[in-house]
Chains A and B, each alone.
Chain A
Amino acid sequence: MTDGKIRIIVAKPGLDGHDRGAKVVARALRDAGFEVIYTGLHQTPEMIANAAIQEDADAVGLSILSGAHMTLLPRLLDLLRQKGGGEIVVFAGGIIPEEDIPPLRAAGVSEIFLPGASLDAIVRWVREHVKPHGVKA
């Protein structure tokens, strides 16, 4: 992006409709000065990957509370790599059991925020780990 502003897609993969967390985090990121695009609910990994590529996103933040994270998150990361978006930083939050965290990280999820994570912690993490397009992290 020419203005150097970080662009983040906030997405809800899967069928669960619990969007309070996604919306609150999206607003907090926007209030912190990032450019935020919220995809809305019930997104397939394909829809999210396409949105990330089309919007030229620097990062994708995923909120998932349905228990389907082990299926949907690795697939999204695969799709991003296939579509040339392998550089896009992917982070996630939601109901994710501890033992699922190492395999998700191995699949390429950079950070996982668990219930109780503060908005401040999420914003700080994004500032530190996501750089605008073309800038080396």
Chain B
Amino acid sequence: MVDPKKIEELRQARRQWEATTLGESLEQQPERTPRFSTLSDLEISRVYAPDDLPAFDPARDLGLPGEYPFTRGIHPTMYRRRLWTMRQFAGFGSPEDSNRRFHYLLEQGQTGLSVAFDMPTLMGYDSDHARAQGEVGREGVAVDTLEDMEILFRGLPLDRITTSMTINAPANVLLAMYVAAAERAGYRRDQLGGTTQTDMLKEFIAQKEWIVPPRPSMRLIQDMLAFGTRELPRWNIISISGYHIREAGATAVQELAFTLADGIAYVQAGLDAGLDIDQFAPRLSFFFDCHNNFFEEIAKFRAARRLWARIMRERFRAKSPRAWWLRFHTQTAGVSLTAQQAQNNVVRVTLQALAAVLGGTQSLHTNSMDETYALPTEEAVMVALRTQQIIAYESGVTHTVDPLGGSYVLEALTNRVEAEAEAYIRKIDDLGGMVRAVELGYPQREIAEASYRYQQQLERKEKIIVGINEFAAPDVQPIAVLRIDPEVERRQIDRLRRVRAARDARQVQRALDTLRRAGERADNTMDRVVDCVRASATVGEICDVFRSIYGEYKEPAII
């Protein structure tokens, strides 16, 4: 901590500077704008100095890397020991198409897989459902049955890579399929490393792919937590995600606050299911967005680690330091990409990826320049992956841990983001926790307000996007875009019908009936879901069981 007398001296010096050096400069020429602010509209001062951090205590507020409260990073050596996992989100078309892309990405030096599923799969519909028409394989890969999952991971070393699956409402079904496919390929459950997103609260808040209402959704997650703790020692059952919250228009503070409040709800759900916090909490991981405002984003990541460590230790009384860790994946901000002058996106992604690395991420997805048009082409994905490799191997930022720690502006912003996020978390506690807040529509409304405010700032040019509201160029250089062959839908439906015709229908019915009874009785449903997928029950059939027990969620349409 800085000596109070020193602080007074510094303040004195600043007043002097304001009266003389600064005053003269402003008199000659005023600043470009009366107010400077971050993307999330936190006001930024002209200059930061030690007197902006009068209560700053490096021992208490930062600690050293690998030590509580982990502001500087969860590992003592960070990227000096091991670089972050370069994990590009991929998945499109048929399971065969995506399997080829996975092999390609691993050959290019990627170190983990990340699977995108198509909209029907995310919503728990089979490819031949009426609501799936036109959507099969479009925004991700179509998976209907265990056979699709086996094709998707064919020939991949599941004991040596980790697989992240962006799947939420039917996460239990897809995890069961992954386990069953891996076992058929000869792997043991304890060899399987990876993550299912399973974050339904952020679905209700932001991403909006759901099946059953919030409370039964939480119950199915409890079943997964119990199953994962028992069966899959290397699996992260929930990836608590701020990414979608941010992409839906939230500020950096809202992203952080709502994500940690979701985390609090999941920890509580695990405790309510009778699980030991020191056993299950170390396998909760996080997933954040990284947007354009460089310092705000780095501050967000550092504040996130510090806040979560305090929540886990002080609020939940977890004893294992691993339960205090906030481990996170980052994706650069899809929403920041522009269709206009799309090559500029490479530069945006570079800045965002650098901020994520300076913020201490454990894994990273860099968006491709063409993603405002469609899923990325192979060439665009290559540039995005190379961006990470250039940061990792050429920039030198990996050589020291938390290189910006101690920067006055960054520490001040870290404190500010943390304090504002804490205020939101208190508000959500007062509402009765995140499940209740979601039912009340509270975070949904806060995000809608923030996104409308931001759009108005763009219209007034208070915020600038190069190529959109400034520096627009009339002719857009067209770039190559990935097209999904409409045949994918027909072929996927053909295979689904073949599987349905070939399976033992009575065995399927028995498995589904047993699942229904487990769901009705509050027995753990996960082992029953595994039985269903082994019998070749489809994603849609299994989700229909849950729909019939718990009903379907309908969001009130508010603008």
Q: A25-63 interface mask toward B, CB cutoff 8 Å, 1 = contact, 0 = none?
A: 011101000001011111010000000000000000000
Give A126 Cβ to nearest chain B Cβ, in Å.
16
Number of interface residues of B (CB under 8 A): 48
**Interface members, chain B 179-222 (any A CB < 8 Å):** 203, 207-209
Query: Whole-angstrom distance between the alpha carbons of A38 and B521 in the complex?
Result: 38
A1 at the interface (CB under 8 A from B): no
Across the interface, A14 reaches (CB within 8 A) one of B119, B335, B478, B481, namely B119
In the assembled complex, A119 has its CB within 8 A of some CB on chain B: yes
A133 close to chain B: CB less than 8 A: no
Q: Indicate if the CB atoms of B372 and A67 lie closer than 8 Å.
A: no
Our pick among B125, B133, B483, B559 for the contact of A36 (Cβ within 8 Å) is B559
Interface centre among A36, A68, A119 (most CB of B within 10 A): A68
In the complex with contacts A14-B119, A70-B134, A98-B478, A24-B452 CB distance below 8 A? yes
- A40, A67, A71 interface centre (most CB from chain B within 10 Å): A67
Q: Would A17 and B208 count as touching, CB distance under 8 A?
A: yes
**Interface: B144 (CB within 8 A):** no
B556 at the interface (CB under 8 A from A): yes
Bound Cα distance from A109 to B483, whole angstroms: 22
Q: Does A84 lie at the interface of the complex (its beta carbon under 8 Å from any beta carbon of B)?
A: no
Binary contact readout A76-102 vs B (1 if CB under 8 angstroms, 0 otherwise): 000000000000000000010110000
Complex CA–CA separation, A40 to B441 (angstroms) = 14
Given that A66-B138, A67-B484 are contacting pairs, would A15 and B131 also be in contact in the complex, using a CB cutoff of 8 Å?
Answer: yes
A27 to chain B, nearest CB (A): 5
> Of the candidates A24, A40, A44, A66, which one forms a contact with B119 in the assembled complex, judged by CB atoms under 8 Å apart?
A66
Known contacts A40-B555, A40-B556; is-contact A97 B373 (Cβ 8 Å): yes
Distance, CA A119 to CA B554, complexed state (A): 28
Residue in A10, A41, A71 whose CB lies within 8 Å of B134? A71
Q: Smallest Cβ distance from A54 to chain B, in angstroms?
A: 15
A105 to nearest B CB, angstroms? 18
**A1-24 toward B: CB 8 Å interface, digit per residue (1/0)?**
000000000100011111110011
User: Are the C-beta atoms of A20 and B134 separated by less than 8 Å?
Assistant: no
Which residue numbers of A lie inside 8 Å of B, CB to CB? 10, 14-20, 23-24, 26-28, 30, 36, 38-42, 44, 66-72, 95, 97-98, 114-116, 118-120
| Closest 4 A/B residue pairs (Cβ) | A71-B134, A17-B208, A40-B557, A68-B134
Given A17-B209, A38-B558, A44-B130, 18 more contacts at CB 8 Å?
A17-B207, A18-B247, A19-B248, A23-B448, A27-B559, A36-B559, A38-B559, A40-B557, A67-B134, A67-B138, A67-B139, A67-B484, A71-B135, A72-B134, A115-B339, A119-B455, A119-B456, A120-B459
